[in-house]
Structure 1
Amino acid sequence: MDKGFPKDILFQTMEERIKYFENKTIAHPMLVNSYKDLMDKIDVAVKGKVLLVYGPSGVGKTTLFLKVRDQFFKKYYNDMIQDKGIIPVLSVETFAPEDGKFDWIDFYSEALRNLEEILIDEKRLPLSDMGVTLPIKPNEKTKRKLRKSLENAIKYRKVKVILIDEAQHMTKVGSAKGLRNHMDAIKSLASKFGVPIILFGTYELLSLRNINGQLGRRTRDIHFPRYNSEFPKEIEAFKNVLWVFQKHIPLQDEPDLLSDWKYFYKHTVGCVGTLRDWLYDTYHYSMKLNEKTKTLTLTDFKKFEPTIDQAYTMAEEITKGEKHLLAKREEKADKLDSWLKLDQVDEKEDKKRMTNKRPGERKPMRDRTGTDLFR
């Protein structure tokens, strides 16, 4: 039977075999489509744009995050060779706030560390920023110092794109006003830095979308969905992912995962990232227990399966996010038709008027549209 992994991998050390499977990713349809959509939108993203990449927890957004990061490093590899100071990608992972409120000081500090900035705790505000009449709280002053330092670091490191993983933590603010302030801050950073900012997160990121019209113009969406069992093509795609994984587990005898695809789907709710972690944990443990393990059975996978309670919680969060996304779109589309009076347009009469026109004949009230702009 043909194996997906290199033939000589079985003769390598246990650590090398484990490492091989740990690094294995599959270019499955949802990942590929999301990657292409994101890269297309990055290419046309102008100064001040914020891109939101959202989807279920465990769908594989971190894999997408790393793929985009690596692509930018490859793209600017020659520039980095010529100028050792260039860091084309600033990638930051945010963490859940301990007090329930996102901490910008921690974010700025982590970003500066990732840009290899030194003496972060010794930063000072420039004199032009100190001539304020109102007293500044120590916390606010530190925030300003770090933000100014980050602006300078991004400029001198010639950063091309900023990637923020687990960005749903940035929505932890405690109030609607605080949420608007946070999105204003993100938008301001994108505009000030002059590079796109890409936020990767769960459906909680939806709370940042379209807070107001001005912010809505500056954001672009990329939805990274799970494989939904309601659609036969997506089930077939999930089964194919499972089959490819089973071909790449470095074992003498290939395990049969495909026969139990419903079991794997049920416990992952169609999320490939969760599936990948589960398969890796099972393989890693089995090899550590006995490096001469020939194959894996369903019993082995049950030891590390996401529990039914965990799967239920994931499914609940996912369906809520999916319904919120779809329902809001449909609801807003209907309201927009009403506000613009499109629901009152007599389509039959409109079509009748159009058929009475000769080909190429222009409507009389359209002649002056935009003419002043080109004089």
Structure 2
Amino acid sequence: MNHNTYTNPASASSSLIGQRIKHPRIATTIEECRLMLAAGSNANLILLCGPTGVGKTTLGDFLVEAELKSQVEELAANPGCIPAIRVEAPASGEREFSWRLFYQRILNALEGELDAPRTAYGVDPVTGRVVRPAGPQSNRLSGLRTAVERSLRNRGTRFIVVDEAAHLMRQCHPTRLEQQLDTLKSLSNEYGVQWILLGSYDLFELVSLSGQLARRTHVIHFGRYREDVVEDVRAFRGCLKKLGECMPTLKDVDLLRYSEVFHQNTLGCIGTLRTLLMRLDLLVAEKDWSEETLCTGLLTEAQVTQILREIVEGEERIAPGLKRHLLAPKNLQAKRVA
């Protein structure tokens, strides 16, 4: 049985990739996600977006693990139950989004990697023998869809986290965006599964192209730690300290002395910070610690500038909706209009 849980690789170098921390921002976002999951059919599609490198994949893993822990009694009584999984929406290189490959990934997470083709078999009412529909059968899309439906029902899956969800919509014409999400929504309506779509700010922009799409989704902003917010600075320093303690060659280095440098270079994104520290750990293992080694491991100015541009544009676009200006007092709204 595949519960799609996270396991650390055996090698020492690979194990660094598995170092994760449930910092304040991720804990708050998880709680908001769980509230929306409790809403059931009133929140079929949950859109969770934030800047690149903020830690969305890690958040997805935590959500799945939290669901498995909360269903421990159900899992003991029904070992075949898989209440939650995380899959990545494929970028297949095809002109249109590959639902075939997407369904296969869901089936692999729920049933394991099976070599046999998924086909909608039936039973002849006269002979009682197993029969299959006429025509080409090898992993036909309809057969894959039927297999996914059967697995969702049998496994009791409550929600599916879809990483890189923008691929669902980026590879189709804007007029077909609703059709793409209708496919997910139909599975949600029929089998009670909810979808958590993870992506950068471009995912939010794609959904906002259509009023119908906007109406069907609940948006959660997974933001970075800002340098102009005291609580954020304190939390970022805590993340830097904890992650540094997990790195063999950095655990004895006073990284907090350079916390401002790390904050500026990673723009307050913990996923980016973890990647940077992993790279720096390897550099220090070869060259020993020095400020020159630190500078070598940092992102270049051009990289930071590009990422910052995307973050600022994304935050400006998503913030008005999340601040709920419609709930502000009328006189305050009038001042904004003036």
Using the size of structure 1 for normalisation, the TM-score is 0.71
Q: 1:266 aligns with which of 264, 267, 290?
A: 264
In the TM superposition, residue 248 of structure 1 has moved relative to its aligned partner by: 4.1
Shift of 1:32: 1.4
Q: Report matched runs for 1:104-123 at 5 Å.
A: 104-116=99-111, 118-119=114-115, 121-123=117-119
* 2:317 paired residue among 308, 316, 324: 324
Residues in 2 aligned to 1:95 and 1:303: alpha-carbon distance in whole angstroms: 33
Q: Which residue of 2 aligns with 1:229?
A: 227
For residues 304 and 143 of structure 1, the distance between their equivalents in structure 2, rounded to whole angstroms, comes to: 46
Q: Name the counterpart of 1:255.
A: 253
Alignment of 1:50 with 2:45, yes or no, is yes
Check 1:146–1:53 CA distance in 2 against 1; reply closer, same or farther (3 A cut): same
Q: Is this contact kept in 2: 1:92–1:110, CA < 8 A?
A: yes
Q: What letter is aligned with 2:119?
A: K
> Which ranges of structure 2 fall in alignment gaps of 5 or more residues?
1-9, 124-134
Q: Counterpart in 1 of 2:126?
A: none
Work out which of the residue numbers 56, 70, 75 in structure 2 matches 1:80: 75
Q: Equivalent residues in 2 for 1:15-26 (5 A)?
A: 21-26=16-21
Matches within 5 A, 1:191-206: 191-206=189-204
CA contact (8 A) 1:47 1:190 kept: no
SS in 2 for 1:121: coil
Are 1:162 and 2:155 an aligned pair? no
Match of 1:299 in 2: 292
Matched with 1:124 is 120
User: Structure 2: which amino acid aligns with 1:212?
Assistant: G
SS of equivalent to 1:123:
coil
Matched-pair contact (CA < 8 Å) for 1:168–1:205: yes
Q: Is 2:41–2:189's contact at 8 Å kept on the other side of the alignment? A: no
CA separation of 1:332 and 1:208: change in aligned 2, threshold 3 A: farther
Are the equivalent residues in 2 in contact too, given 1:48–1:190 (CA < 8 A)? no
Shift of the 327–81 alpha-carbon distance from structure 1 to 2, 3 Å rule, reads closer
Once residues 294 and 311 of structure 2 are traced to their aligned partners in structure 1, the CA distance between those partners, rounded to angstroms, is 24
What is the rounded CA distance, in whole Å, between the counterparts of 1:285 and 1:126 in structure 2? 59
Task: Report the CA distance shift for 1:283/1:252 in structure 2 as closer, same or farther (over 3 A).
Answer: closer
- The partner residue of 1:31 within 7, 26, 32 is 26
Letter in 2 for 1:309: A
Aligned CA RMSD, in angstroms, stands at 3.3
Answer whether contact 2:207 2:214 (CA < 8 A) is retained: no
Q: Is 1:279 aligned with 2:272?
A: no
In 2, distance between residues paired with 1:226 and 1:51? 19
Cα distance in 2 between the residues matched to 1:32 and 1:330: 20
CA contact (8 A) 2:244 2:251 kept: no
Name the SS of the counterpart of 1:249 in structure 2: coil
User: Residue deviations 1:230-259, cap 9 Å, x none?
Assistant: 333323322332233334434586212222
Question: Shift in Å at residue 226 of structure 1?
Answer: 0.8
Aligned residue number for residue 211 of structure 1:
210
- Aligned equivalent of 2:59: 64
- Structure 2 distance, partners of 1:274, 1:327, is 26
- Cα distance, 1:286 vs structure 2: 4.0
Residue identity (%): 26
The alignment partner of 1:87 has SS state of coil
Q: Report the alpha carbon displacement of residue 275 of structure 1 after superposing the two structures with TM.
A: 0.3
Structure 1: stretches of 5+ with no match in the other structure: 1-13, 128-136, 344-375
Q: Which amino acid aligns with 2:298?
A: E
What is the distance in 2 between the residues matched to 1:158 and 1:331?
A: 35
Q: How far is the alpha carbon of 1:15 from its aligned partner?
A: 5.3
Residue 307 of structure 2 corresponds to which residue in structure 1? 314
Residue of structure 2 equivalent to 1:183 = 181
Maintained 8 Å contact 2:47/2:218: yes
DSSP 3-state at the match of 1:52: strand
